[in-house]
Structure 1
Amino acid sequence: MYETVTAATAVQRITAWHQEGGGRVVELMGSTGAARADVRTQVRDAVPGVVCVDAAALDGDALVARIREGVWQAAEAGAGVGVRLVVLTEGQRVTGRREWGCPTAVLEQLEREVAEALGVLLVLEVDWHEVRGGTRAQLELESPVRGPDPGRSAAESRQWALQALALQEGGGAPLEVWRQLSWALNHDELELPVDVDEEIEVDRRGWYRFRNFKRSRELARSVDPGLARQVHAQMARWLVEHVGADSDLGRYADAALVEQVGRWP
């Protein structure tokens, strides 16, 4: 079961499942910007005796052992008879086969050896997991939404425009692609191109690119990850219509879609 939800709805879903009882695994997907940490805090406030475990750099066996130890220690400390809710942070950093989010084999192990064996609700925080199906609950937190803002400064508008260019695939983008990226990211008609200066340049093809790759990556990483993923998905749907065209847009589409395929395991 997959849902896109607000932080408040995620808290309601998790606390309701806790009250129902029984073992299950819930994936809580979203970036820091999407208030994942706020959800964790509110759940801990609402449910007594929550056990939190950092899953970073642990494999399945080590993670199961750490959870069992945490549950046992919480029970010994009197945090509540029969701990029934465990929250795992940094699920995308669990060791295992490379894939977005927590490795599927580890998820299945957690279902068998923790959720079912101990009868607990296991909430796994993860940036993203591409599987949207099956019986496992997946709650994806809504990403921040941009849009027209009369009060936005010229400097902020320029920042938004450069962030959009930083999400391009490869070593530059035609102006038409930059405009499409900006609309997908900002939902606003920004004035493009911005002035060519010490940050960006026009190459011999007439495409816009950053002079400094480090600056490009810095701007790309400053975009909320959930929002960036949505932009890439929207761009892929748009670009596929132009694959093979004898134009700058067609040549960009050919190369960009190869880059996107390479990003997915």
Structure 2
Amino acid sequence: MRKIRHTTLYDAEHVGMVREQLELLAASTTEAGRLAYQELRERYTRRMWDLGHFMKTLKQRFSSWYNKKHQRKGTLWEARYKSVLVENGYAARTMAAYIDLNPVRAGMVLDPKDYRWCSYAEAVAGGKLARNGIMRVISEMESDMAADGWAGSRSIEKYDWRNVAGRYRLILYEDGASFGVAEADARRSTKKRRGFSEAELEKELEREGRLSVSAVLGCKSRYFIDSAVLGSKSRVNGVIDDLKGNYLSKNRKMGGSRPRDNLRSSGL
């Protein structure tokens, strides 16, 4: 059990108690003590391989923290964590597109690249793991569609992100098309699904799913420009103090800066 994994979920008091128990049991010279040490240690280490247990603990701890911080009670999450096994090939491609399209269908963004917490947006911004994941999805889809069927190969060495990016974006727009799609509700009436119009899809097809340089640069730089704190000097410095240690250097002393003239003239 490594310290960093435990401290991300539990407070210092709980971590100290568990560490003390482990140290006492580890020093035991009896068989019962050694068994108790092994049982306590495995109680935590086995969670490393159990995603369901980890998510349960994470949601419980986050809910407790959020409720305490905002002085509220009750559940925070709509439903339990759900794990789904997805077959390689076309099934994986469909599921990947479904996840990346959720923010669009929920009306949170108009373009999947604009939801910075999805794998596609991370890939556009340059995230290597996200890019490799999408390239693997394309690789497995092609293997699944090949004449000889799925061969089990997951090599992505022959793929280049610049080519795969456009292909995957077209997949998102084709799967996310809203025109001509009607879904029956509980009263068997119909409603239009949120997604892309026929004109939007045609536009993406014309440019083969390629994003402009400015759009890509915007995705790469938004982690530096999407955040701001506006308010009094004490408010800004208070936020900086809260972020020290986790996100900012503990030695940082500089607080907020006065707005530039052009911002003041704009009413900001």
Which structure exhibits the higher relative contact order, with contacts defined as CA atoms closer than 8 Å and separated by 6 or more residues? Answer: 1
Using structure 2 for the length normalisation, give the TM-score.
Answer: 0.28
Give the number of the structure whose residues are more often helix, by fraction.
Answer: 2
Give the number of the structure whose residues are more often strand, by fraction.
Answer: 1
Structure of larger gyration radius: 2
